[in-house]
Structure 1
Amino acid sequence: MSVTSFPEISRAVALFGFGAFGELVARTLLPDMPVVVCDPDPAAQARARALGATVLPPEAAARAGIVVLAVPVPLLERVLRDLAPHLRPGQLVIETCSVKEEPARLLETLLPEGVEALATHPMFGPASAARGLRGCQMVLCPLRGNRWRRVAAFLRARHGLRLLRATPEEHDRQAALSQGLTHLLAHAMARLGPQPAIRTRSYELMMEAFAMVADDAPEVYTAITRGNAHVAPLSEALIAALRLESGARREPAPGLENMG
């Protein structure tokens, strides 16, 4: 299908990338607006059509009023360079990567003048949003223009999202603790072997939280733990704190030395 046979293209949201998160976005938006999908994978195209989305080639999908880039960080620069010649002033380009400083730099550098830009991080995925989006958190980092305000109003009113506004640097600094270390700990705990039969409820809750990120795509894990410059020093601080705490615990408690 060409853009000329899709007259609603200016009102549509175009999704570039139709993985698990792109599919979640399509399912969320389709009841309210036309959604077009651009993904080279035939299986992804089939899933998109099954949902009721329209599959278009890149040059046609790039004419949508709102363009959402649901691609991993390593692909973002190439996608932006391919898209740039087809974009026009007034469009809004949104990226959804798990880190913000580098994607924001790419948007501001590669998008043509007059194209608006919004860096976002939905702090949820298909697993954590299985029961709906209401109450889920999403971070917005406005870079250019004001159309993002209408997007924010829609997401808040229609889907009950909790929206936080931040700079890309503020996002990455805070996400290093709230997300980066969570993923590192989840993978580290998995290396320790099977779960013990003797366990507390607090342990079970912790493992349930880790399970929510266990199935994330490898490129997501890499972006979150290695693409965020603030994670490495934070992980070093955690290791030092664990060493300090374990050393403190080796000291015998007063009055208990002789308990057998």
Structure 2
Amino acid sequence: MSSKIRTVSTIGIMGFGAFGRLMARHLQPHFALRICDPANEPMADANGKGLQPATAAEVASCELVILAVPVPAISEVIATLRPHLKAGAVVLDVGSVKIGPARVMEENLAEDVEIIGTHPLFGPQSARNGLAGLKIALCPIRGGSTPRIAAFLRHVLKLKVVVTSADAHDREVAMVQGLTHLIAKILVRMEPLPRTMTTASFDLLMQATEMVRYDAPNVFMAIERANPHAKAVRDRFFALAEEMRLFLENGHQQAASPEPALPHKVAEVAEA
């Protein structure tokens, strides 16, 4: 199989923060890249082979355009790119939430522009040893390019590809990322934490915390505030935590038991 997505020779990346740089490093061997950063991040990596600083118009002229900007900036970036996009171009974002960005792209990009919502389920920390085996979600919104892009991601970058809808993505990620980042934020606030006399399970918890500790603040806010399903997960988590606090302080007579209710136990026995 070719190492390139068919018909794509140049990829434009709008945004050159930590994740934009990560993508550029792995795409550079396969495509000529044009990079524009609205936040004016240093372009120290932009002199390598196939990596070229560009204007927004030059990025928009590429066959495939990646929006590697914070979720709140997507509307403004789309307005900048829209006049310069070619018919048949593919535009995709890489944000942690999909419903909102998908709606913005669909409402503001021309009908002849294809749209895919994507979420690489990893960051610079978890990808420091390579991409092979890591996961990425693809949410087809408009056009038919998802299968060939998925094939490139699977066969060339060795990623595990999950094709899903924007709503299904946000429902799962509200728990998967929402709880991870929420617990990590709370643990960091509890520092100093033990580092010597620890258990294997505690070490794994600390490892998970370190993987998201240095994420940009806008990532956490997007996960918790831009995802319409995150509040329900967060509220349930805090409610169950409060039940557990009351149980530990007062005993099961005064608080809801952390154990499943008896009817559930009976049902489990009947199924067995």
Q: TM-score, normalization: structure 1?
A: 0.89
Which residue of the partner structure matches residue 67 of structure 2?
69
Which residue of the partner structure matches residue 265 of structure 2?
none
Distance 1:159 1:110 in 2: 30
Judging changes above 3 Å, is the alpha-carbon distance between structure 1 residues 214 and 51 closer, same or farther for their aligned structure 2 residues?
A: farther
For the 8 Å contact 2:93–2:118, the answer to whether it is kept is yes
Which residue of the partner structure matches residue 243 of structure 2?
244
What is the alpha-carbon root mean square deviation over aligned residues?
1.9
Amino acid at match of 1:76: I
Distance 1:40 1:228 in 2: 24
Which residue of the partner structure matches residue 208 of structure 1?
207
Distance 2:109 2:178 in 1: 28
Judging changes above 3 Å, is the alpha-carbon distance between structure 1 residues 182 and 10 closer, same or farther for their aligned structure 2 residues?
A: closer
**What is the percent sequence identity of the aligned residues?**
40
Which residue of the partner structure matches residue 85 of structure 2?
87
Deviation sequence 1:200-228 (CA, Å, 0-9, x none): 21111111101100000111111111111
Aligned residues: 245
For the 8 Å contact 2:136–2:162, the answer to whether it is kept is yes
Amino acid at match of 2:148: R
The answer to whether 1:30 aligns with 2:28 is: yes
Deviation sequence 1:7-53 (CA, Å, 0-9, x none): xx962010000011001111001111111111245553332224640
Which residue of the partner structure matches residue 110 of structure 2?
112
Helix, strand or coil: the match of 1:125? coil
Which residue of the partner structure matches residue 222 of structure 1?
221
TM-fit CA distance, 1:243: 2.1
Distance 2:141 2:47 in 1: 32
Helix, strand or coil: the match of 1:47? coil
Helix, strand or coil: the match of 1:120? strand
Distance 1:56 1:43 in 2: 13
For the 8 Å contact 2:170–2:229, the answer to whether it is kept is yes
- When you count helix as a share of all residues, which structure comes out higher? 1
Distance 1:171 1:73 in 2: 15
Q: Which residue among 146, 149, 152 is the counterpart of 2:147?
A: 149
The answer to whether 1:19 aligns with 2:17 is: yes
For the 8 Å contact 1:181–1:225, the answer to whether it is kept is no
Judging changes above 3 Å, is the alpha-carbon distance between structure 1 residues 86 and 193 closer, same or farther for their aligned structure 2 residues?
A: same
Judging changes above 3 Å, is the alpha-carbon distance between structure 1 residues 10 and 245 closer, same or farther for their aligned structure 2 residues?
A: closer
TM-fit CA distance, 1:247: 3.2
Q: TM-score, normalization: structure 2?
A: 0.85
Helix, strand or coil: the match of 2:44? helix
Distance 1:240 1:129 in 2: 34
Judging changes above 3 Å, is the alpha-carbon distance between structure 1 residues 215 and 86 closer, same or farther for their aligned structure 2 residues?
A: same
Judging changes above 3 Å, is the alpha-carbon distance between structure 1 residues 87 and 117 closer, same or farther for their aligned structure 2 residues?
A: same
The answer to whether 1:59 aligns with 2:57 is: yes
Distance 1:124 1:177 in 2: 15
